[in-house]
Structure 1
Amino acid sequence: MAQRETWATRVGFILAAIGSAVGLGNLWQFPFKTATNGGAAFVVFYLAAVLLIGFPAMLSEFVLGRRTKRNAIDAFGRLGSGPWRIAGALAVVTGFWILSYYNVVGGWVLRYIVGSINGAYFANPGEYFAAVSAGPGAVLAQAVFLAIVVGIVALGIEDGIEKATKVMVPSIVILMVALAIWVATLPGSGEGYAFFLSPDLSTMIENAGTIIPFAVGQAFFTLSLGMAIMITYSSYVGRDDNLILDGGSVVITNTLVGILAGLVVFPILLTIGAGADITTDTGGAGALFVATAAGFGSVPFGRLFGVVFFGVVFIAALSSAISLLEVTVSYANDNYDVPRPMLSIAIGIALFLLGVPSAWDTAWLTWFDNIAYQALLPLSVLLTVLFVGWVIGRESVEELLSGAEGYATFGTVWLWTIRLVVVGGVLLTLALGINELFLVEDAAFFAPF
């Protein structure tokens, strides 16, 4: 069996973790989840979820990975009894499930880069999205995007993932700042800022039961939690690294990029986006594409800004997709004597096949996404924090404080936050999500059938 790889540098790990978090979750999911769940009211719940649930849960995954130096399934098995391996398996399956339709959206991004160059979507953005988002062309674009992801992961941790993210993450931040500055100069951008940054208290109260599952799910999605990514990435980390500071760096950077995404997207959606109604179909999976495309078609140098914007989205999508694929490859690499390139290709083929329904019809993509947000992610995170907080308990604090001398009080507070606040918050989120998915009238689970 091949020797297990490690990160070449601590910065490499941090950037890879940030790259996983700063992906389509921020630039695709965040805008359309915000648009369809109360605007700024959603943002408030999301930020609270990141602070109170997301950050402590991330540290839990860091602890599991570094303590065992193994993939998610084996990490649970080594620290707990055999049945706990099911929790690791669920996390791996969740990541695999999400990547199957994530690749489809990555394919859309590739086609929008081409559409920006030749101006193909300027005349009728809605029609262009309908043409590229489903059918044989979308299946082919999905395959191209997935092939790029497989190629990077096949190169390994240091030569593939670490080198790629060292270029991609700074590029995302720099280009997003530049786009935010440009958008601020556009007439009427204040309307978009108001929608994004001015919460309506009545909306928060009246729709809390609907908003909370999506807000917490968004926190999990954008921080790459519940998918075994952070367990996998931290398994390549040395015991001298300060996991608390590393986790804080990831959370802060990810949140800032999410806010930047909102500052870029919502002024475009609500002003120059050709009057797009972001609370209906364009507020769903196509919001980022339909309305921003309309906006770029109505401003000077629209093709150039379109290429830059969708180029950023592509980099972000790629950085997250390679982390999701690494989860499954890591498990196979730890347990089977098969070269990494062959594993990457085989798993890539399986992902392609699972993603075909989402590529063929966006209704299936929405179905896959709803199951991930409302059931798989919260259940996976719940099992992880229960295991870390109540099964391994003080041992998890010991691991967290390795390389973080002087944080003893933080460790104790963190453990009880995991045991009470995080477990309680995720249980509530899971209950609300299951209700929306299965029990209400027109439940999301049954929509495509």
Structure 2
Amino acid sequence: MAQRESWATRTGFILAAVGSAVGLGNIWRFPFQVGQEGGAGFVLIYLLFIALIGFPVMLAEFVIGRRTELNPVGAVKQLAAGRFRYAGWLFFTTGFLILSYYSVVAGWTFRYVLLGLQNDYVADVAGAEQQFLSVASGLDAVLFHALFMLAIIVIVGFGIRRGIELAVKVMVPAIIVIMIGMAIYAFTLEGSGEAYAYYLSPDFGYIGSEWQNILPAAAGQAFFTLSLGMGVMITYASYLGEDRNLAEDGLIIVGFDTFIALLAGLVVFPIFFSAGVNPGSPGAGAVFVTLAAAFGEISFGGLIGAIFFFTVAIAALSSAISILEVVVSYLIDEHGMDRLSATTIISVVIFLVGLPTTYDIVVLDLYDKLVNDILLVSGGFLIALFVGWEISDFAIDELEQGIGDLGSWGIAWLWLLRIPAVIGLLVVVLLGISGYYDFLTGDFAGWLEQTV
């Protein structure tokens, strides 16, 4: 059996993990979730989930991956017995489904870069919506979906060091620099003060009345943006050495990810308010529609929009390669396939599974709500339950490798997993299931009636 690959440097691992976290979840999904869920109140709940549940679950995924040096399916199977033995399949399935529609959305960003370079953004929202619908469905959507999948096949096919690590060392710094520059530009726009108030001043009354919608959305967003609950951090940690300080690396990754998510809001919302565009437009296409309309209104909007969507495209690519690596590592570890064959075969299957989402935005919502509100959070719930209660002694021992005796900090980490994470995520899963049922019997059922 060939020797398992590993990261060449600690920086490579951190940038790869940051790149996975800093994807469409931050720059596409985060602003439309904030707008849809009432602004700063959502941001506050999201940050609490990141700190109290997201970071502890990330460490739990790290210890599983590093100890086993296996993909999520093989790793959980090696460590678990009984009811947890097959839990790794949830991570595999979640990553597979995410990438099938994630690639479609990423394809939209390529198309919007071209629209910006041609100065073709439509200034009014109604026109921008029609423009989006033409981009989001049909042959164009299929072709750009294929183009994006081809790009990640090339990167992942080259392996950990020559493919993923090399790519993220270029992409992640570029994302950070461009986003900071755009946030500075957004600060100069008229209406930025109103935008910051909307984005940064929570309405606690709104939180109290809408908590049943905000909680699953914030939890799902936290897990989506940190690449948790889909096995990415298990897979990336499986290529690590025992001398790495997992807690320190985790803090850096969470810090960078949260910084860029918040930065995305500082870019997007001033542009919305300066153009008089409603930031609360619902749905997966909201950011594309409202931003394109806003870019159509402001000076040099085509160029600025092209730069913004180019940044989103890079971020999407850095995240997508990590998701593909989850399923590729399974085929390599469990079935002995060579990397290029595994990458190509599974990518073709993912491409085909994603094709229905190029038909109508409602189908994409069907995928996205299932993954974000139920599967990702369910994966986090199982990880917290498994590590916190089933393998806690092993978990502490593994986390201490590269750190030393954790003492009370290790106990605190375990109890965060055992109580807040397990109970909180279980509640969120139940709310997510309820919300998904409402979607199926409401918007989706209505769409089916009209379509059929």
In the alignment, does 2:212 pair up with 1:213?
A: no
In the alignment, does 2:61 pair up with 1:58?
A: no
1:363 alignment partner in structure 2: 362
Residue 270 of structure 1 deviates from its aligned partner by 2.5
Any residues of structure 2 matched to 1:113-132 within 5 Å, and which? 113-122=113-122, 124-132=127-135
C-alpha distance in 2 between matches for 1:313 and 1:397: 37
Match of 1:207, SS? helix
C-alpha distance in 2 between matches for 1:72 and 1:448: 36
In the alignment, does 2:3 pair up with 1:3?
A: yes
In the alignment, does 2:136 pair up with 1:133?
A: yes
CA contact (8 A) 2:7 2:13 kept: yes
2:323 alignment partner in structure 1: 324
CA contact (8 A) 1:153 1:161 kept: yes
Match of 2:227, SS? coil
Residue 134 of structure 1 deviates from its aligned partner by 0.9
1:276 alignment partner in structure 2: 277
Residue 439 of structure 1 deviates from its aligned partner by 5.6
CA contact (8 A) 2:74 2:334 kept: no
CA contact (8 A) 2:66 2:242 kept: yes
C-alpha distance in 2 between matches for 1:429 and 1:445: 22
In structure 2, the CA distance between the partners of 1:447 and 1:393, relative to structure 1 (3 Å rule), is farther
2:91 alignment partner in structure 1: 91
Match of 1:236, SS? coil
1:34-83 CA distances to partner (integer Å, 9 max, x unpaired)?
Answer: 11111111111100000111000000000100010111011111111265
Residue 294 of structure 1 deviates from its aligned partner by 1.9
CA contact (8 A) 2:119 2:303 kept: no
> Structure 1 stretches of 5 or more lacking a match?
none
Any residues of structure 2 matched to 1:21-420 within 5 Å, and which? 21-81=21-81, 83-122=83-122, 124-272=127-275, 275-280=276-281, 283-420=282-419
In structure 2, the CA distance between the partners of 1:447 and 1:42, relative to structure 1 (3 Å rule), is farther
Q: Which moved more, 1:106-115 or 1:73-82?
A: 73-82
Residue 290 of structure 1 deviates from its aligned partner by 1.5
Match of 2:404, SS? coil
Tell me which amino acid in the other structure corresponds to 1:61: E
CA contact (8 A) 2:63 2:399 kept: yes
C-alpha distance in 1 between matches for 2:53 and 2:82: 27
Q: Which moved more, 1:407-416 or 1:327-336?
A: 407-416
Runs (4+) off by over 6 Å: none
In structure 2, the CA distance between the partners of 1:362 and 1:162, relative to structure 1 (3 Å rule), is same
TM-score with structure 1 length normalisation?
0.96
CA contact (8 A) 1:370 1:444 kept: no
CA contact (8 A) 1:191 1:271 kept: no
Q: Which moved more, 1:364-373 or 1:400-409?
A: 400-409
Q: Which moved more, 1:48-57 or 1:73-82?
A: 73-82
Match of 2:85, SS? helix
Tell me which amino acid in the other structure corresponds to 1:405: G
Q: Work out the percentage of aligned pairs sharing the same amino acid.
A: 48
Residue 312 of structure 1 deviates from its aligned partner by 0.7
CA contact (8 A) 1:18 1:254 kept: yes
C-alpha distance in 1 between matches for 2:82 and 2:363: 34
Q: How many residues align?
A: 445
Tell me which amino acid in the other structure corresponds to 1:227: M
Match of 2:87, SS? helix
C-alpha distance in 1 between matches for 2:265 and 2:117: 24
1:158-205 CA distances to partner (integer Å, 9 max, x unpaired)?
Answer: 000000011111111111000000000011111211111111111010
1:97-126 CA distances to partner (integer Å, 9 max, x unpaired)?
Answer: 111100000100000011111112245422
TM-score with structure 2 length normalisation?
0.95
CA contact (8 A) 1:268 1:291 kept: no
CA contact (8 A) 1:139 1:360 kept: no
Tell me which amino acid in the other structure corresponds to 2:71: N
1:430 alignment partner in structure 2: 429
Match of 1:240, SS? coil
C-alpha distance in 2 between matches for 1:151 and 1:360: 26
In structure 2, the CA distance between the partners of 1:131 and 1:188, relative to structure 1 (3 Å rule), is same
C-alpha distance in 2 between matches for 1:440 and 1:3: 47
Tell me which amino acid in the other structure corresponds to 1:138: A
1:241-280 CA distances to partner (integer Å, 9 max, x unpaired)?
Answer: 00000000011110000000000011112322xx333334
C-alpha distance in 2 between matches for 1:66 and 1:380: 18
